[in-house]
Amino acid sequence: MSKEPLYLFDTTLRDGAQTAGIEFSLEDKISIARLLEELGVDYIEGGYPGANPVDTEFFEQKRTKTAKFTAFGMTKRAGRSAANDPGVQALLNSAAEAVCFVAKTWDNQVKVALEITLDENLGNLRDTVAAAVASGKEALVDCEHFFDGFKANPDYALSCVKTALDAGARWVVLCDTNGGTMPSEVTLIVNSVLAIAPGSHLGIHAHDDTGQAVANTLAAVEAGVRQIQGTLNGIGERCGNANLVTLIPTLVLKPYYAERFETGIDAAHLERITQISRAFDDRLNRAPLRQAPYVGRSAFATKAGIHASALLKDFSSYEHVPPESVGNERSIMVSQQAGKSNLLTALARHGIKLSKDDPQLERLLATVKDRESRGYSYDGADASFAVLAHEVLGTLPEYFLVENYRASVERRHNAQGEEVTVTEAVVKIRVAGELLMSVAEGNGPINALDLALRKDLGKYSSRIEDLELVDFKVRILDGGTGAVTRVLVESRDGTGERWYTIGVSPNIIDASFEALYESITYKLLKTETAQGTN
Amino acid sequence: MSKEPLYLFDTTLRDGAQTAGIEFSLEDKISIARLLEELGVDYIEGGYPGANPVDTEFFEQKRTKTAKFTAFGMTKRAGRSAANDPGVQALLNSAAEAVCFVAKTWDNQVKVALEITLDENLGNLRDTVAAAVASGKEALVDCEHFFDGFKANPDYALSCVKTALDAGARWVVLCDTNGGTMPSEVTLIVNSVLAIAPGSHLGIHAHDDTGQAVANTLAAVEAGVRQIQGTLNGIGERCGNANLVTLIPTLVLKPYYAERFETGIDAAHLERITQISRAFDDRLNRAPLRQAPYVGRSAFATKAGIHASALLKDFSSYEHVPPESVGNERSIMVSQQAGKSNLLTALARHGIKLSKDDPQLERLLATVKDRESRGYSYDGADASFAVLAHEVLGTLPEYFLVENYRASVERRHNAQGEEVTVTEAVVKIRVAGELLMSVAEGNGPINALDLALRKDLGKYSSRIEDLELVDFKVRILDGGTGAVTRVLVESRDGTGERWYTIGVSPNIIDASFEALYESITYKLLKTETAQGTN
């Protein structure tokens, strides 16, 4: 039996932008679209051209290579033609290949919110879709409040679906806008829609207000719907949208679905999904949810107890899928075996060769575990890992010693009575016995420390000339009074290589300084190797 | 038609204790059991007496008033009688009214993990249940790996269910131990179990590894199962257990379930659920999940855009249940796309009334938009919005003026040659003409500034006594050299209210100071109102 195609439609950049606390910049949108293409979705809905400057600019050019670049907007207003509706024209003149129009399908909403007749609403829908198709765009229709609308007036809800398809829409998407529908209701209602429309033209758009967005989506797919709308990590208004990062592995790995459906996601895409999910949270500066299905740090973690010993006998009984299939890792406190081989791989990446039985390996593993328990995370800070490894193995040259440093920020009024902030840092280091003291001003204490630290490294100065600080991220771990700050610094040099270092401390300045210090040490280490081979 | 009873079984204190990073003390267990009784569950599973000192002490006395106090443990070992098994005896001699025994029901697991025969396993189960019943306890059996076991060997899995019931177990609980079962599979398999056992004696225990613990639980209930196991906020091993805080409102509020089933939860219990969920997170020192169904801070939040104006016309179309039914609140957020009507709603929330045509409204809107374009984001910082509104409208009392401040961090070696970091802040403010200068040390510059700023507010000091800094978040916007730092501060006071303030600056210290300053100003504003009405 040949498999039926399922289409994945991502709305992170549109419906996801409704998430409380999230405001995407143009750079965010461009970078997230890249992540989504890496993930392998079929449609990327990028926003609402014409509605705000960021979205308008985002749609000035095509931003995707393989996924269909999709704009979102409203159908035309009553009383004017699609050609005379500036909203519709902004969509049709954008660089989008597809346009998703939202239409009301709940009779009462048409009357109360739009204040037009039911027929006018159908006419707006028909004319808008026809105009989009005539302009060469693929047309999709999001049926807002479809499930509530169907319960209130099934005939009218169905006539919206039919009108959209007759006018040439490629997809009609059934939206559970307020997120209150149960999976069994989805099954029943989708079955009614299938009586008048083919599943190959129907989509599902679910929200998580009862914690069932994923289940509602799968219920619709089982009933016959063939397009899935969702977002990265389930972001979205209120409780969020259906989480594509959860749905995709289920569709690809569970025989129940994999035997019947095919998506554009292959095994290589899937192995990247944990990293993509975390990179997205990084972009939003959110801590990844540990409990997240498939990709969470705890998703394959087992605490000691009755499971652990059984787990050692047979992983598969306590893991519903293999963690490596989604690029995640098993973590069991009692087994260090997995840890050792990971560590050997990481060391080899930095040109350090140890045998599996080397007692130094055990010591390094213990150090890494201890530091990770205190908030370090070497996953994203490979350069800090290299520095730590050389330190534990006793192969780190003593480049320079920091005797002391000081950073101060002062806000006061200047002679003209204007408020000014003066930030200054002083760093005292010892290089080959010589004491060097530098001072610098910056636009913040970390900037000032960075400038002062790199100002004079004595005989090493020439080796860090092309070192550049690219980015700087701060995360507060475990909130509240016992909080620890984790700082991640991204650096780059003339060779184009980028590296990441980490610092952890209750004091944000100490944590930042540690990450800056390790970045310089890493840069010296890598030029060491280059010089050593001369 | 009379409604069928559904029983709620909480396992927060047992399976929830398997959560990575969670370790309950005796005080935690006592306090959480109290929360669970407030919630109205039927069973509270408190742990594993005999397995560790905390659980043993917890079970030395009955810790519940209305819920059945339940212990958890293993069935007797092969080769000895229940009377001679110290594990079983610890359970039977505890203060528990009910005992839940875990039994393996997957044939392969019995052979590989327990290394006994399938018949020995049935014998252990039978004898253990019989011994519990004979000692006057209610007996429950958790069928570990039931769904995987059923797929591998349905006859054996079913014989475990039958053996337990025949031996006198009140409940047999079908556990999806590794969390990989789909709702449709749950429906099919539960239907097979119902052929040999009544639903009134069956329970469901689901895990969230595919994001469907809630849906799997409801699928089992729809099929005929009448006991639900879950945890507060869905804590638990790996991705967690079925979330009772999500399931309970669905069962009570959704006509689909409420018309067929009755639970021990009444409207008054339900109105407490948001507070119970948050109190539980407080106890664990975790930030409540904003997106959590029903109880999250965002669960009834709407950002501007197409919804907001419709929402004002008809709340019910965008809210699947009334927020007050679960003790939560509606919130309409201000953001870049904010229209005037959103702004009016946000103002009204802070007791500020303006007419739609007031020119001040236009000015406030422009200010909000300007600030958001510079990196502020008011949808997550409602207290800063209130302060800004009062400022723009000219109704902000001049509580205190900051003349200047200074924060410094110094790392050096102390007299013993140890590295120490000393962090100090000095703040000079003017209150009612009087100049006040305070100094404080902290574990970081922001902590030190916070302490110095709140040390002496002159005549306002007593009004901020119960103000507490709860959390602090930093985000670097647009990375690199032109970076701007956004700081979000969460505060709380003795009334239990939490509020959020924001600061934006290229300098992280300035941004933090701004957020701290606004938190205090907000606290003064809110006590102003309280005093004003006296």
B185-225: per-residue pLDDT in tens?
999 999 999 999 999 999 999 999 999 999 999 999 999 99
Among residues A265, A292, A318, the one where a domain terminates is A265
Tokens for B318, please give them. Answer: 């965008």
Flag whether B388 is in a domain. no
**Distance between CA atoms of A275 and A278, rounded to whole angstroms?**
5
The sign of the CA dihedral A330, A335, A336, A338 is negative
CB contact under 8 A, A254 and B423: no
Residue A80 shares a structural domain with residue A193? yes
B214-245: per-residue pLDDT in tens?
999 999 999 999 999 999 999 999 999 999 99
Flag whether A67 is in a domain. yes
DSSP A467: -
Contact criterion met (CB below 8 Å) for B242 and B231: yes
**Nearest to B449, CA basis, from A492, A507, A336, A219:** A507
Residue B54 neighbours by CB distance under 10 Å: 19
Chain B residue with minimum CA distance to A293:
B209
Residue A357 shares a structural domain with residue A425? no
The mean per-residue pLDDT over the stretch B509-514 comes to: 95
pLDDT band at B533 (very low <50, low <70, confident <90, very high): very low
Look up the CATH number of the domain holding residue A88: 3.20.20.70
pLDDT band at B482 (very low <50, low <70, confident <90, very high): low
CB contact under 8 A, B403 and A421: no
Residue A9 shares a structural domain with residue A105? yes
Q: Any idea which residue has 């999976």 for tokens?
A: A183
Residue A102 shares a structural domain with residue A174? yes
Q: What is the pLDDT of residue A336?
A: 34
Q: What is the pLDDT of residue B377?
A: 81
Among residues B368, B388, B416, the one where a domain terminates is B368
Most confidently modeled range among A173-182, A303-312, A498-507: A173-182
Flag whether A54 is in a domain. yes
Please say if the pLDDT value at position A527 is more than 50: yes
Residue A188 shares a structural domain with residue A66? yes
B347-380: per-residue pLDDT in tens?
988 999 888 888 898 889 888 888 887 888 887 7
Measure A393 CA to nearest chain B CA, in Å.
23
CB contact under 8 A, B303 and A238: no
Range of the domain at B320: 301-368
**Distance between CA atoms of A427 and A442, rounded to whole angstroms?**
13
Residue A215 shares a structural domain with residue A361? no
User: How many CB pairs (< 8 A) connect A and B?
Assistant: 324
The residue ranking higher by pLDDT, B382 or A247, is A247
ipTM: 0.76
Flag whether B463 is in a domain. no
A187-240: per-residue pLDDT in tens?
999 999 999 999 999 999 999 999 999 999 999 999 999 999 999 999 999 999
pTM, entire model: 0.75
**Distance between CA atoms of B106 and B118, rounded to whole angstroms?**
9
pLDDT band at A334 (very low <50, low <70, confident <90, very high): very low
Q: What is the pLDDT of residue B310?
A: 61
**Nearest to A193, CA basis, from A225, A230, A153:** A225
Instruction: Compute the mean pLDDT over every residue in chain B, rounded to the nearest whole number.
Output: 91
Q: List residues bridging with B377 in a β-sheet.
A: none
The residue type at B530: A
Residue A119 shares a structural domain with residue A254? yes
Q: Which residues of B touch A113 (CB under 8 A)?
A: 309-310, 313-314, 317
Which segment of A134-143, A231-240, B24-33, B524-533 scores lowest on mean pLDDT? B524-533
Chain B residue with minimum CA distance to A305:
B18
Please say if the pLDDT value at position A314 is more than 90: no
CB contact under 8 A, A506 and B444: yes
Measure B415 CA to nearest chain A CA, in Å.
13
Beta strands A468-477 and A484-492 are antiparallel
SS3 assignment, position B185: helix
Chain A residue with minimum CA distance to B187:
A184
Residue A93 shares a structural domain with residue A226? yes
Give Cα separations from A209 to A212, B39, B211 (angstroms).
7, 20, 13
Q: Which residues of B touch A177 (CB under 8 A)?
A: 317-318
Terminal Cα-to-Cα distance of chain B (whole angstroms): 54
CB contact under 8 A, A210 and B246: yes
For chain B, the domain total comes to 3
